[in-house]
Amino acid sequence: RADLYIREAEAIESWCRERGVVVLQRLPYDASATEAMIEAKTVVEYGDGPLAQALHHLWIELADNLGLADLPPGCRAGPLLL
């Protein structure tokens, strides 16, 4: 929801930078998150909206930052849906 609260998002990112914490991505507001909860699904299961896409890219970037680039292709596709 960083796009709804830009000033607060910038303050959080500044706080993180000052402490050496890497911010990998800003997650956008997406009404489909609420719709997914109502249907008892994850955002990624529910659809391919802005939040689902951002989470997918975040997952890949996180795996890269953790040195998990050698994961099998299915694992790099995104979070496991249980």
Residue pLDDT, tens place only, 15-65: 999 999 988 888 899 999 999 999 999 999 998 999 999 998 888 888 888
Q: What is the pLDDT of residue 61?
A: 85
The answer, as to whether pTM is greater than 0.85, is no
Neighbours of 36 (CB within 10 A): 20
How would residue 72 be classed by pLDDT, with cut points 50, 70 and 90?
Answer: low
Distances (CA, A) of 59 to 4, 11, 24, 39: 22, 24, 10, 23
Q: What is the pLDDT of residue 38?
A: 96
Neighbours of 42 (CB within 10 A): 17
Say if residues 77 and 57 touch (Cβ distance below 8 Å).
no
Q: What is the pLDDT of residue 81?
A: 41
Say if residues 27 and 2 touch (Cβ distance below 8 Å).
yes
